[in-house]
Copies of this chain bind each other. A is one copy, B any other.
Amino acid sequence: MTGKKNKVMRLTSQRKVILEELRKVTSHPTATEIYDMVRERLPRISLGTVYRNLELLSSNAIIQKLDFGEAQKRFDGNPEPHYHISCSECGRVDDIHIPLNRELEDKAADYSGYEISGHHVEFRGVCPNCRDKAATRH
């Protein structure tokens, strides 16, 4: 019905550690960053395994795969929809937990005729750290 595969997802040590490490941070790491984090606990894990698990976990809505237009995708251990902001200076990505604006979806549906299933908001700006650094330079 939903098109999802019906395979049982086994709890391998690799999968468990990837999920644990991802849930520890709010930094929205890339696949290679996660690889590095996980390798401290599982030195023999391969990058391919990390990619495969991130793909599987995100397609099962256990984590989120994010794309901020950079070369590498990022991952978020929190599967609940929420907004994000990225710093144009240092590239860091933070969560923005303001309430989702459902009215936007109604407007978009009226405008487009689409049947809307969700939306995402990405803010751009300069993070407090980088703003302070810039100020210090004067």
List A residues at the B interface (Cβ < 8 Å).
Answer: 65-69, 73, 83, 85, 87-88, 94, 96-98, 101, 104-105, 107-109, 111-128, 131
Q: Please tell me if the beta carbons of B88 and A108 are within 8 angstroms of each other in the complex.
A: no
Q: Please tell me if the beta carbons of B115 and A126 are within 8 angstroms of each other in the complex.
A: yes
Q: Which of B112, B115, B128 contacts A114 (CB 8 A)?
A: B128
Q: Please tell me if the beta carbons of B121 and A125 are within 8 angstroms of each other in the complex.
A: no
Residues of B within 8 A of A113 (CB): 127-128
Q: Please tell me if the beta carbons of A126 and B114 are within 8 angstroms of each other in the complex.
A: yes
Q: Please tell me if the beta carbons of A83 and B108 are within 8 angstroms of each other in the complex.
A: yes
A67 vs B118: C-alpha distance in the bound complex, in angstroms?
17
Q: Which 7 A-B residue pairs are closest in the complex by CB-CB distance?
A: A114-B125, A67-B69, A116-B125, A113-B128, A119-B123, A115-B126, A108-B123
